[in-house]
A and B are shown apart, each in its own frame.
Chain A
């Protein structure tokens, strides 16, 4: 009896496995076909592709910074902080007023680096304040509630924050001043590379390296890891769980705040109350892609997503003869996510997390 049951389950799985394999092969052929067509058409030069990849890395590193906030919170509280995109917005939106004031007063042209530092501090502070208030008011009372409850709270908080900032700062678009030093081109081996993109990429890497050191090397990091393993046992071991959770939100807020300023350096226009929603969804996708709860995974997921959505439409869809391919770049990103999760249901680096947990 037990055997026949097993066999039945086995059959089901083999059928599904077969279907999934067919899907994989099918998508692979489509992707290959599109790419070969595009490349064969000779419409784009090699340098164009490299430029696109670099642009994708820059965009992806912003996603990655936000994605880390999702991943950190998920790692510890096991719920999706849907409002994290709004934490990012809070920092960018608040600091743009400081930036505008400094530009008007003439401080900015004289001391651009100092201005950058001030903006970073303002942005990180406001993001952190929002993140911590969010935790204290909206999430803490729900610490032991069913999993769906904080998700709904987070969705509510996302709307609440968007329209709070709209009420505070208005619905107009604001613009960061242009940091002239960043807007130039480095010519490396005959290739024109935008300095700002390199800057964005390196600045984000620096932030992430800092985070990695905190989590891996410091006592706080150790406490964070312990809480993410098991809250109750961590509490028994004398770890102040509440404090660790607040620190997690502080770190997530700081990263989102820095992402806000970096976004302002890289894409100075369109700073408004709704600017957090789309990057939030993307970063959420990136976090899952890399394996949610996993720090290097979030970085990798962000970069991967950025590159794929920048290069993907041109490379794959145009070769298939699809009109207005760039319109579908988000669709490509999502399909890729689905594929990755079919291959590796725990995300790209999810394994490591699970191993640690095991």
Chain B
């Protein structure tokens, strides 16, 4: 009993800190202007609400384990249920008491001179426009109510609870994306009169919200009811029919992949193109980091070389001496970037681990400095960049706009995927693997590590150059500032978030780290905050990545020992060298 209360207090305490944090840094107020459901709940309040609900639910889940069996209806006693809900309410009350405290403190001391976002608007939002005392009490009451509600949700039988939770999650998700839904509906030809019933500029309409909620529940229930039987039926089919089925799934997938930009509309296609560019970068970096085990933090350099060579070879601007077509330029772009890969690779051949990381990080910055410099301005455009990069032409057909560019990036990504798959199974791939496992042993076994390291850098660079080329064409103008360290960081992060060495992981990682933030652009200044938080949480919850490649996780642990050994050997060599001379 006492333990339960302590747990509720503890969870409420943490939840309260989170609620206080998002209020004080201004998220609640900023997102009060955008609604999840128009006229009912704004994103700002919604975030606080979800926080309280989750805390209530979590409290119930931790306490309820021994008390109620949520799956088996009828077995819970009224008493157990009361304990769970009571503690959930307590936790909710503790969460909201933090906010009430903020309201009370602000009414006495002017916090705004330091904490810039503790504005009168925030306070009136938290107190629902009431006076300080009454507002704080209302806040406490609502916290208690929703904490209890969260706990109540847990005490429901799972048949009811799962669809309910799924419905709420869908609602929150699509509510956040309502801007994208609205433009997409109008683009795929839904008349605005109809579209307005479901979603308006300010957010989902109550009707739209109800439909999404019901849809989620229906899908969840359908899934529970029919998924198992369906799989069972398919496995029972004769082999020929099964083959048909497999073929059908493939065909459907391909059709979907091809029709995607026209289903999701322009905005999402633009995001898809960007995701595609990062998928390309991920495939390329996977060769360097994932396969060959060389930690490269300056991958943006090759992206930049690809983009700049595209720009200079094809631009109509006076800066480019020759102006050739994209397709004629493509082989030259790839070769130039490959050479750049060798140039970066050569000086760092003997470095490992974190030393390699900082040096490659430096090379990435040097690429940007050179593009930016007045020194190279006559050839690279300096700060003014290169403008007037024409669109890609395919015969008489111009690949312009995100929906058509999608096919270009899709083709490049499939090509890079093909190369990566082939490398995996080839001699080269095995050599890289050996080198990554243990460089010294690989060397003694006859693997020419210098050759394979340089090959990895060059191959990785060439794939990045394709991404750079699409990037340049997409923007029609490139500036040095686009090629900063954040690009390298994103490429490496998506690789690790996805699960290093895993090709599906690259795709998942790119969607998670590039696609979702891009769709949620309205979060503008809080986007990087959320991005950082997601990186931290993901790494703590799933350090092996979203789609891990099982073998790689194990190997990475061994890396640590390798670097220390290497340090030792380097030192020994340096001690010996002077004597030899």
* A touches B in complex, CB < 8 A: yes
- Whether A179 sits at the interface, judged by CB under 8 Å, is no
The distance from the CB of A325 to the nearest CB of chain B, in whole angstroms, is: 8
- Whether A23 sits at the interface, judged by CB under 8 Å, is yes
Q: Which residues of B contact A285 (CB under 8 A)?
A: 358, 362
Interface size class of B (residues with CB under 8 A): 35 or more
- Whether B333 sits at the interface, judged by CB under 8 Å, is no
Q: Which residue of B lies closest to A74 (CB)?
A: B354
Q: Which residues of B contact A156 (CB under 8 A)?
A: 493, 531-536, 539
In residues 150-191 of chain A, which contact B (Cβ within 8 Å)?
A: 150-153, 155-164, 166-171
Say yes or no: A142 contacts B571, CB within 8 Å.
no
Q: Which residues of B contact A328 (CB under 8 A)?
A: 369, 373, 375
Q: Which residues of B contact A168 (CB under 8 A)?
A: 24-25, 115-117
- Whether B557 sits at the interface, judged by CB under 8 Å, is yes
Known: A19-B346, A155-B489, A345-B351. A334 touches B366 (CB 8 A): yes
Known: A146-B559, A288-B355, A337-B358. A342 touches B347 (CB 8 A): yes
Say yes or no: A149 contacts B539, CB within 8 Å.
yes
In residues 308-338 of chain A, which contact B (Cβ within 8 Å)?
A: 322-324, 327-328, 330-331, 334-335, 337-338
Q: Which residues of A contact B531 (CB under 8 A)?
A: 156, 159
Q: Which residues of A contact B533 (CB under 8 A)?
A: 156, 160
Q: Which of A5, A16, A145, A147 contacts B353 (CB 8 A)?
A: A147
Say yes or no: B500 contacts A5, CB within 8 Å.
no
* Segment at the A interface, from B192-200, B406-414, B460-468, B522-530: B522-530
Known: A16-B450, A159-B531. A284 touches B556 (CB 8 A): no
- Whether B547 sits at the interface, judged by CB under 8 Å, is no
Q: Which residues of B contact A160 (CB under 8 A)?
A: 529, 532-533, 535-536
Q: Which residues of B contact A346 (CB under 8 A)?
A: 355, 567, 570-571, 574
Q: Which residues of B contact A155 (CB under 8 A)?
A: 489, 493, 532, 535
Say yes or no: A162 contacts B528, CB within 8 Å.
yes
Say yes or no: A5 contacts B570, CB within 8 Å.
no
Known: A157-B532, A163-B529. A147 touches B24 (CB 8 A): no
State in angstroms the CA–CA spacing of A358 and B565 once bound together.
Answer: 10
Say yes or no: B535 contacts A334, CB within 8 Å.
no
- Whether B187 sits at the interface, judged by CB under 8 Å, is no
The distance from the CB of B263 to the nearest CB of chain A, in whole angstroms, is: 33
Instruction: Tell me whether chain A's interface is mostly helix, strand or loop, or mixed.
Output: helix
Q: Which of A161, A170, A327 contacts B369 (CB 8 A)?
A: A327
* Segment at the B interface, from A117-125, A242-250, A260-268, A349-357: A349-357
Contact with B along A283-299 (1 / 0, CB 8 A): 01100100010000000
Q: Which residues of B contact A222 (CB under 8 A)?
A: none
Known: A153-B536, A331-B369. A146 touches B362 (CB 8 A): no
Give 15 new A-B contacts, CB below 8 A, not counting A142-B539, A156-B493, A169-B114: A145-B543, A147-B353, A147-B563, A152-B492, A152-B535, A163-B25, A285-B362, A323-B374, A331-B369, A331-B370, A337-B362, A338-B347, A341-B355, A341-B359, A357-B564
- Which residues of chain B have a CB within 8 Å of any CB of chain A? 21, 24-27, 114-117, 295, 346-351, 353-355, 357-359, 361-363, 365-366, 369-370, 372-375, 443-444, 446, 448-450, 485, 489, 492-493, 496-497, 500, 525-526, 528-529, 531-536, 539-540, 543, 553, 556-557, 559-560, 563-564, 567-568, 570-571, 574-575
